[in-house]
Structure 1
């Protein structure tokens, strides 16, 4: 009778971390349906003779009723149904297969080992002979349609002739539906699969009984908008299957060339069972960079600590506050997370999530040329971290927010994207806001408020003013994305995060090219000091985007603390 053991008991051979050792699982040969027999081997990544394949898959549920049993040296070992399906599909009939599988080869209950092994993920996937990507079974997709989807990709990649079923509408519909199911497999939405697809020199995708090389997938994606595009049946465009594949493959290709901050930002909405893996699952891409201690993998820290340490590390490496900018003031579901820290897990409540995507963030920060903090000490000069949770930096108070537009007045989209509808909607929003401001501070409203409004809107055009058509629509969507119009006590006009409130303060802080909105942070007794704040978000304010606020008030900056 076989003895059942837990995954992390003595079944796992010991590792010498100083020798860069890893466990490799040998899957013994067997016919379909027979019990899966395995055994562990220990080897070093420093061994030039090492040869193994790495498995990439989605873990699936750990519920007891979804567990399957494999045998490791005769002992029962429970695995998820997803992993069991992968092992059944990949096991060879005539010879053993040597695999590195994270759930098997890392003791998931040992944080010290997990930290050490995850820190070597870049080497593990870079040194494997190939990565075996398991998307799962076909599910409700018919075998004929699944084969047609693979044939379609192979044709696009130029490895086979035009499929004969292109002239059969029913077959085309089935193939398009299958291709959509292929790209919608949960594997494509996991955080770990980003590096697992990119780092290996070679990879093969397995889907049910079918397989296709990653190289063919890449070639197929590159051809979607090339000479093959006019020959692609319309249904593939209609259900967006070809667009989805092209988009994800292009994103994966670009990732190899990006700095860590951009990688984390791009993939933050992918799923991870452990939220810490939103960071640790991507660190392997920059194995060539020496990161500060705060950016190193360490599973002894909880989610809050990991995200705060990561944000600090990114500020250190970038030399500015770019990690704080571009989130549109979105909140966080992580208890106790510092207001300045990026929630790399992404806000799960879509009503509180910023609509600004990665490319908007990059364009706004890098391309518009704003220098609101010109004249202040930068991050490298003045930033300090107190008690591991408080950022201390230099800032200049500009003003206090007096009125903010009603949330119901905001515009979330345009029907035609025309300049006319844009200005009409903006004018209507400003009209209501100005009426309120006149009632509160009639002497502070600038006589040229309409000019300020136009300056606020058109200021966001620089550089790259839209000339026509799609450019105008893209620009218009940027202007009317969920933001709040506001006026300060002295009559400054601005655009800021949707949830800003009257009474919050407008500041320029060293290291941020944009003005920011801060909220007074009370101490344990509910008192405020005037130097302690919570970070609300960046904003755009007419007439202070090029350092005017700092130039006009030399010597007025002071140290502040962000909690």
Structure 2
């Protein structure tokens, strides 16, 4: 490819599901009106590969991509796709650098992003997975406030199996939710489709469901169903709402901080994978992939050189001052002191949430949005906090009784 605005498109050739995979590769220029779909997926094991024919030549791809292409292949029509594993020359570092630099435009210009979550686990049936999708559609308000209950949630047994499928979808190690590259891949396109085995659901439906759950807009008369799912709802609303918030645009620093916990095979991808979301990057010079840092401790050495002669107490004070900048000092009813978000008000509560590494500030909901048939209270999440005296698990010893379920908005 001669132009810096050229990229490759994979034409997935039509065939039946079990036929060998065949495709062609061609060049396309950014800004062209020709439609294509971009695939968002997780590579998986790169040592366990499967064959595919590309322009008549045999090429090896990961099993995850092979499964995705089989599901996406049409029986009688060519399907134009952008797939990083085949549309980027993985053996050419210059090509990789060039293609990563235009990945923002590739995903932003695609007609639709296809989010491949993998095949269904062997322990689940298609009916089970349909029940999980029915729950998402119900929470999104697809059937309004009617008494209609979808078939996938209509009996106690189906409800239990749908709960298991929903857990597998959003919680049980589905790697798509934890990888760093998938963030920009779903944030940049204007349209996206979630594909899980043979099933699919618009990404907009997931966003609407998460938005309504966080706002307390539960479908009326379906609170028993919601109570069945309450233990894992936050594992769904948190990631989906985070991705929706990212669509509005944030500063580069906030973007890097928000997604720092996502995983990457190469640590440098923690930055490269998010560059497409930076709205003001200028002429950023990207480091080519094969280059290595001469010294991984450059920043640490620079800090020692700058602060080497400073008194220890001054360094500690400066560090604490930076840590609490913009935070609010508070005292609890029991006399504990701490710092929390700047928008704290009297009456906010300190909670220790299961799985959290720090205490959180919750605000009791003042609106009539909590389920009337449920005793579970509704709170707004204000933010995390530092509370002296409970940062090392002491709160568990002070608390009498078992864990308490709450709804968060």
- Range class of TM-score, shorter chain: 0.7 to 0.9
Q: Give, in whole Å, the separation in 2 of the partners of 1:29 and 1:274.
A: 35
Q: 2:208 aligns with which of 219, 223, 246?
A: 219
Contact 1:131 1:196 in 2 (8 A): yes
| 1:431-489 per-position Cα deviation (integer Å, ceiling 9, x unaligned) | xxxxxxxxxxxxxxxxxxxxxxxxxx56x479566634614864695123769xxxxxx
Equivalent-residue separation in structure 1 for 2:315 and 2:106 (angstroms): 56
1:189-212 CA distance string (max 9 Å, x none):
111100111111111110011000
State the secondary structure of the residue aligned to 1:175.
helix
Contact 1:221-1:245 within 8 A present in 2 as well: yes
User: Per-residue CA shift, 1:494-530, capped at 9, x if unaligned?
Assistant: xxxxxxxxxxxxxxxxxxxxxxxxxxxxxxxxxxxxx
How far apart are 1:94 and its partner, in Å? 1.0
Q: Residue 467 of structure 1 corresponds to which residue in structure 2?
A: 346
- Is it true that 1:228 corresponds to 2:218 in the alignment? yes
Instruction: Quote the Cα distance in structure 1 between the aligned partners of 2:45 and 2:315.
Output: 51
Conservation of the 8 A alpha-carbon contact between 2:180 and 2:273: yes
1:151 matched residue in structure 2: 134
Q: Relative to structure 1, is the Cα distance of residues 106 and 180 closer, same or farther in structure 2, using a 3 angstrom cutoff?
A: same
The structure that has the greater radius of gyration is 1
Q: How does 1:333-344 map to 2 (within 5 A)?
A: 336-340=296-300
CA deviation after TM superposition for structure 1 residue 395, in Å: 10
Secondary structure, aligned partner of 1:33: coil
> Structure 1 CA distance, aligned partners of 2:264 and 2:300?
22
Q: Give 1:178 deviation, angstroms.
A: 0.5
Measure, in 1, the Cα distance between the counterparts of 2:142 and 2:99: 38
Identify the residue that residue 373 of structure 2 maps to in structure 1.
Answer: none
By how many angstroms is 1:76 displaced? 1.2
Match among 14, 19, 30 for residue 45 of structure 1: 30
Query: Per the alignment, in what secondary structure is the counterpart of residue 386 of structure 2?
Result: helix
The separation in 1 between residues aligned to 2:98 and 2:34, in whole angstroms, is: 19
Partner of residue 230 from structure 2, selected from 234, 237, 249? 237
**How far 1:271 sits from its partner (Å)?**
1.2
1:119 matched to 2:101: yes
1:62/1:166 CA distance change after superposition, 3 Å: closer
Aligned residue number for residue 375 of structure 2: none
Q: Distance in 1 between matches of 2:234 and 2:341?
A: 30
Q: 1:275 aligns with which of 244, 267, 281?
A: 267
Distance change in 2, residues 1:110/1:168 (3 Å)? same
Counterpart pick for 1:479 among 369, 381, 387:
387
Partner of 2:198: 209
The verdict on how the C-alpha distance between 1:28 and 1:464 changes in structure 2, with shifts beyond 3 A counting, is closer
Deviation at 1:292, TM superposition (A): 4.9
**Aligned equivalents of 2:119, 2:7: Cα separation in 1:** 29
Query: What is the aligned partner in structure 1 of residue 167 from structure 2?
Result: 180
Determine if contact 2:132/2:152 at 8 Å carries over to the other structure: no
Other structure's SS at 2:349 match = helix
Match of 2:60 among 61, 78, 81: 78
Q: How many residues align?
A: 336
Q: Deviations over 1:117-166 (max 9, x none)?
A: 10001000000110111100111222211011112212222334531454
- Asked if 2 retains the 8 angstrom alpha-carbon contact of 1:27 and 1:91, the reply is yes
Tell me, yes or no, if the aligned pair for 1:122 and 1:287 is still in contact at 8 Å. no
After superposition, what is the alpha-carbon deviation per residue over 1:38-77, rounded to whole angstroms, capped at 9, x for unaligned? 1111111143x332111111000111xx211111122211
- Report the TM-score, using the length of structure 2 for normalisation: 0.74
Distance in 1 between residues matched to 2:350 and 2:195, nearest whole Å: 40
After TM superposition, give the deviation of residue 215 of structure 1 in Å.
Answer: 1.1
Mapped partners of 2:277, 2:64: distance in 1: 26
RMSD after superposition: 3.1
From the superposition, tell whether residues 401 and 87 of structure 1 become closer, same or farther in structure 2 (CA, over 3 Å): same
Equivalence for 2:14: 29
Cα deviation code 1:236-269 (max 9, x no counterpart): 102x1x2222111111122232101111111111
User: 2:343 & 2:69 partners in 1: Cα distance?
Assistant: 53
Alpha-carbon deviation of 1:84? 0.3
Structure 1 residue runs without a partner (length 5+)? 1-14, 306-334, 342-388, 404-416, 423-456, 484-563
Partner Cα separation in structure 2 for residue 201 and residue 265 of structure 1:
24
State which drifts further: 284-293 or 188-197: 284-293
Indicate if the aligned counterparts of 2:194 and 2:202 stay in contact, CA closer than 8 A.
yes
Taking the aligned partners of 1:221 and 1:463, their CA distance within structure 2 comes to 25
Q: 1:118 to 1:391 in 2, by over 3 A?
A: farther
Once the two structures are overlaid, the 10-residue window that deviates more, 165-174 or 79-88, is 165-174
CA distance in 2, matches of 1:208, 1:253: 24
1:177 Cα offset (Å): 1.1
Distance 2:261 2:211 in 1: 24
State how 1:519-538 maps to structure 2 within 5 Å.
Answer: none
Separation in structure 1 between the aligned mates of residue 126 and residue 241 of structure 2, nearest angstrom: 28
- For residues 28 and 212 of structure 1, do their structure 2 counterparts lie closer, same or farther at Cα, with a shift above 3 Å needed? same
Question: Contact 1:28–1:37 at 8 Å: present in 2 too?
Answer: yes
